[in-house]
């Protein structure tokens, strides 16, 4: 029994280490190496610092040609699939949503919902 535990435990630690290493490597490959400034004020620079820094948005999103992540939608204007940048898209989708539901729904509401619950728009079938 004890022999089994002394063998399984180190094995589990090695598996966990490899798993974490692969996770961090993928993050680096999808833009994690990009450095950001320390500014976190409410400003375009602050937003960018969070986006490419602690917010780790870049692990799923790219902005136009910046970054390489494709798990989430591109936030810039990018090819035929993303004809509008994130702000313009938020305005458009919020307007569609407000018309469909007949309630007030702003672009800020849309962005906040996208952050808090990324699948909400799709799941509810709008």
Q: How far apart are CA 65 and CA 62, in angstroms?
A: 7
What's the token pair of residue 102?
A: 């007949």
Give the one residue of 46, 53, 55, 76 binding ligand HEC; rule: CB under 6 A.
Answer: 55
Q: Applying CB under 6 A, does 73 fall inside the site for ligand HEC? A: yes
Sequence-ordered list of residues with C-beta below 8 angstroms from that of 59, at least 6 positions apart, any chain: 27, 30, 31, 32, 69, 71
Binding track over 87-126 against ligand HEC, x by CB under 6 A: --x---x-----------------x--xx--xx-xx----
Of 16, 13, 26, 9, the residue nearest 60 (C-alpha): 26
Name the residue nearer to ligand HEC (CB basis): 49 or 86.
86
Site residues (vs ligand HEC, CB under 6 A): 51, 55-57, 59-61, 71-73, 86, 89, 93, 111, 114-115, 118-119, 121-122
């Amino acid at each position: 029994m004890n022999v089994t535990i002394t063998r399984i435990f180190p094995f589990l630690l090695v598996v966990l280490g490899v798993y974490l290493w692969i996770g961090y490597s993928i993050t680096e490959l999808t833009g994690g190496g990009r450095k950001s400034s320390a500014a976190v004020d409410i400003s375009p620079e602050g937003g960018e610092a969070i986006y490419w820094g602690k917010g780790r948005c870049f692990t799923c999103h790219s902005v136009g040609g910046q970054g390489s992540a494709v798990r989430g939608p591109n936030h810039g204007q990018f090819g035929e699939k993303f004809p509008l940048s994130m702000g313009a898209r938020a305005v458009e989708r919020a307007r569609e949503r407000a018309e469909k539901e007949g309630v007030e729904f702003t672009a800020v509401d849309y962005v906040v919902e996208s952050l808090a619950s990324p699948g909400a728009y799709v799941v509810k079938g709008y």
